[in-house]
Amino acid sequence: MNKEIFTNSPLIDHGLLDNAPWLDANWMFLSLFFGVVLLLWLLLSPSWSGTLKEKLHDPKWLGYLLIFVYAIHQFEEHGYDIFGRRYMFVPVFNASIILDPSFGIQLLPRTITLLNVLFIWGALLFWAKMSKAENSYYLVAMSWGFAVVNGIVGHLLPIITQTGELKYMPGAFQSMFMVPFGFYILLKVFKPLGVFKGFVLPLILGIVFHITSLILPLLFFQIYFTWIPQEVIWPVFIGITALVPLWAMPWLKKVLKLSLWEGKMVGAS
């Protein structure tokens, strides 16, 4: 990559945060701070016994770890990217979106705040908390499936498909580590579930979650239902995305034949 393309990009002067509320401009720093606090709890709290190697094979622990991993991802996207540019994911995404520009589809700071805070610190935290041995910690597998899909489709794929200043989608550098780690977790930690249940299906569900929590709200409520406030739209759709898998878990347990998790655990439920 030619660094000049990115450091001299006209997208830098986007002005998206010029009149943005404080929370919209700074939530990513709060997320990183609380992500570090969460990591320290995972590493140092007596609630989590065992060695680091044992923790890295504990699905419950990995469910919480993903929130820290995603806080780093958010910082590169919306804090400062690897070229030191501030809040660059939104303008790059808006400039590279494939949809017909006449649709008026675009991401705005308030959308980004609600989407990221509610999904990462709401849905993923909820899934980690509600994952249990009785449901084979499948909510954690789905969480990592979401992360892998997001890293590949949203950040690594543009490196191949885009050119010039749109080639690097902020968040791509962190995705180079998050995606392989996610593959390892799905293939290794959830290996007892089998390749389809432990690897393929979580990725499919990751795509579904992107559709229900991102694509549908953008398509329907920025085009057809613009009178509904974003503060209503995003909590509703992300809430549905978070709750439906939990409601469907008894059915999933039966269909997928999920049994009691028999691996070694290092923390309390």
Q: What is the pLDDT of residue 266?
A: 61
Q: How far apart are CA 236 and CA 71, in angstroms?
A: 22
Q: Residue 233 to residues 73, 111, 204, 222, 236: CA-CA distances in angstroms?
A: 24, 10, 24, 10, 5
Residue 5: pLDDT above 90? Answer: no
Q: Tokens 């401009």 correspond to what residue?
A: 25
Task: Tell me the average pLDDT across 201-223.
Answer: 84
Contact 210, 216 (CB under 8 A): no
Task: Decide: pTM greater than 0.75.
Answer: yes
**Per-residue pLDDT tens digits for 10-58:** 888 888 999 999 999 999 999 999 999 999 999 999 999 889 999 999 9
Task: Tell me the average pLDDT across 77-87.
Answer: 95
For residue 200, how far is the Cα from the chain centroid? 18
Torsion of CA 191, 172, 115, 239, to 10 degrees: -10
DSSP state of 105: -
**Per-residue pLDDT tens digits for 133-164:** 998 999 999 999 999 999 999 999 999 988 88
What rounded mean pLDDT belongs to the chain? 89
Selected residue with higher pLDDT from 188 and 224: 188
